[in-house]
Amino acid sequence: MMVIFIILTVGFVSAVFYLAQIVVLGAEQRADEDVLRSKEAFGKIIDQRDLARQEKSKLEQEAAEIFTLFDMTKEITRHTNEQEAFDIFCKKLKENMSIEDCKLMQEAINTSAEGPPSGYSAFVLKSKEKKLGALLYKGLQTKDKEKFAILAHQFALALRRLELYKDIETLAITDGLTGAYTRRYFCGRFDEEIKRCATHKSSMSFLMIDADHFKTINDSYGHLTGDMVLKEIARIIQDNVRAIDIVGRFGGEEFCVILPDSDNDGSNVVAQRIRRAIEKHPIKAYDSTLHVTVSIGLAIYPSDGKVMEELMDKADWALYRAKSQGRNCVVTFGQYKK
């Protein structure tokens, strides 16, 4: 009996030990699996963190590029000069990439013919289908070419805005028919010139020009022909004055001219030159060829007046005298002063 008991006891202990070993092994296996799962989860967290860092870096880079574009556009729109806008563009290039040199060509270069200068590459600036010019650059690294293209396209848009601004400004200050300055803008320039003359103690002349018998032209040939006559008169006046002289349309068939730094003798020469040029020039308007003349009244600063209104009145009075003397002549207000 004792032997049987001992055998049973040993068998029981062995069975318990075996079952315990199985339980321990299962627990170890589960623990290993938990560790592996934890490692995998931790690895995923690490991967997600790295991905998030990459996305953050990418977003920061994109935000920096967007800010650069915004900052460049904001600075460029403060200026109305192409060179100033280009200087800002070059500054932004140097801040955001390595580039040796960059030049602006106002006319787009023909890359298929002569091509850019040695060592340079060309980037054509376009706004829709219109070519605005070209950027010549060298020393640009390959990794920066895409960024350069983005900034260059933005610069092209800025150039187009400057061009549109100039067009609008031109429309605002010039007469749509004749191309001469509008009366409002002309008067502003007139006042500025008077102040300048007062500061520098210099003289200035003011011409009032009126087309002779213009109502007859309108009545006989129609207003369209009359418009052609006014356009030609304005062109002839502008062709016979200096670049510094200011030509405006005063209203109707009247034009006016400011001659800075001009005295009585000099302004008479200019006025007579304008009068003769219009008299000798046949004006072709549709099916008609007309010969027109003008009368001119002249006043001098400061001898005839020191404010704009007074000079205008004196020149208008001289113009009236020119009309009463038979037209097609020049009358200076000063020649009637006692």
Segment 84-132, tens digit of pLDDT: 878 888 887 787 778 888 888 866 544 445 667 788 888 888 876 677 7
* Statement to judge: residues 232 and 147 lie in one domain: no
Give the end of a domain, one of 138, 173, 208: 173
Instruction: Please check the confidence at residue 142 and state whether its pLDDT lies above 70.
Output: yes
Q: Which domain holds residue 152?
A: 82-173
**Active-site choice (62, 253, 254, 309):** 253
List pLDDT tens digits, range 155-181.
888 788 888 878 888 888 999 899 999
Q: Is 103 a domain residue?
A: yes
Are residue 167 and residue 187 in the same domain, yes or no? Answer: no
Indicate whether 12 belongs to any domain.
no
Same domain, yes or no, for 107 and 153?
yes
Instruction: Please indicate whether residue 253 is annotated as part of the active site.
Output: yes
DSSP state of 77: T
Task: Give the containing element (helix H, strand E) for 170.
Answer: helix 145-173
Cα distances (Å, whole numbers) of residue 337 to 76, 192, 304, 333: 54, 27, 9, 7
For tokens 């605005």, the residue is 132
Which tens digit of pLDDT belongs to each residue from 57-81? 766 665 565 555 556 666 666 666 7
What is the longest distance spanned by two Cα atoms in the chain? 166
CA distances from 107 to 115, 148, 155, 170, 229 (A): 13, 20, 15, 21, 35
pLDDT at position 43 is 72
Residues 261 and 120 in one domain: no
Tokens (6 digits) for 65:
């590029």
Taking CB atoms within 8 Å and a gap of at least 24, the contacts of 187-194 are: 187/308, 189/246, 189/248, 189/258, 190/246, 190/258, 190/308, 190/311, 191/308, 193/246, 193/258, 193/260, 194/301, 194/306, 194/307, 194/308, 194/311
Residue 145 lies in a domain: yes
Do both 152 and 262 map to the same domain?
no
How many structural domains comprise the chain? 2
265 lies in some domain: yes
